[in-house]
Amino acid sequence: MTMRPSRAASNPLRPPCSATRKPRAARTRFESAPPRRTVSIPSALGAATLAALAVCIPSLSAAQEVGAAGMQAIEGYLSENAMQLLYVRDMDVGEFGRNEVRGGFFINEDRDLIGIADMMIDVGEPQRRPYWSLQAGPRAYGALMAVENQDVFSIGLGGTLSYFLGRNRATSLSVTAFYAPDIVTFGNADNIKDVTVRFETRLSETTQLFVGYRMFEFDLEIDREVDDHMHVGIRHEF
């Protein structure tokens, strides 16, 4: 029995297998490691937005439920050369309880456009004086006057004193007065005077009709009375 020589031994010119294997090319620095997983900025922002919405939406819903309990109303009047429209909301102002917050606009035939916002706090004692009511608070004016370069912004203080004709408070006579002095009046005016006398009666549980007179004046270089007429108006609660 003869031994068959191996292939490596039979072919002395052929190198061994380990010698014929090509050396593995060295990795470049760009191929040295697999690419890392990154989180894109849009996806991160989207996740943060969703988280913020998840936190805020219940809070907004709760705020809407609290505010829904308050009274809301629309109040407006027309005079010979002017009109005013206000949105009224009964809101909680902390230690003062629930009081009226109003905002709207006034415009006259001269195209004086005036934004108005105020908060009226009830400071009277209806239990002790059922025929009387007293409200006080600040009022802000932002006026775009028809006269060129005569814009005004001001914050005044004032209130409303009302006398009711009967314990059911269905009919009343009231005086409202606001005054904004020079120190808190910005623009071309020195002060603002706003006085209204009103007779008001209830038509239904949610609607009131009123007749009044208003003297509304801006102290410019030449005093400008933006309203000085009788008016008729209506207030509807919902």
For each successive 10 residues of the chain (238 residues), what is the average pLDDT? Answer: 48 48 48 46 38 40 46 96 96 81 96 96 83 95 88 96 90 97 94 98 96 96 92 96
For residue 231, the tally of other CB atoms under 10 A from its CB is: 20
**Distance between alpha carbon 30 and the CA centroid of its chain, in Å?**
55
**125 φ, ψ to 5°?**
-125, 85
For residues 116 and 141, the answer to whether their CB atoms sit within 8 Å is: yes
In a domain, 37, yes or no: no
In a domain, 101, yes or no: yes
Label residues 172-182 b or e (16+ Cβ within 10 Å = b): bebebbbebee
CA distances, 115 to each of 44, 131, 142, 147 (Å): 43, 32, 5, 16
In a domain, 1, yes or no: no
State the pLDDT at residue 24.
52
State the pLDDT at residue 221.
85
In a domain, 122, yes or no: yes
Q: Tell me the longest C-alpha to C-alpha distance in the chain.
A: 140
State the pLDDT at residue 185.
96
Range of the domain at 184: 72-237
State the pLDDT at residue 107.
97
Domain count, the chain: 1
Beta-sheet pairing, 207-218 with 151-164: unpaired
In a domain, 35, yes or no: no
In a domain, 107, yes or no: yes
In a domain, 207, yes or no: yes
CA angle 85, 87, 93 (to 5 degrees): 140
| Cα distance between residue 84 and residue 157, in whole Å | 20
| Closest by CA position to 212, among listed 122, 126, 96, 84 | 84
Output the domain CATH number for residue 149: 2.40.160
In a domain, 76, yes or no: yes
| Model confidence, pTM | 0.70
State the pLDDT at residue 216.
97
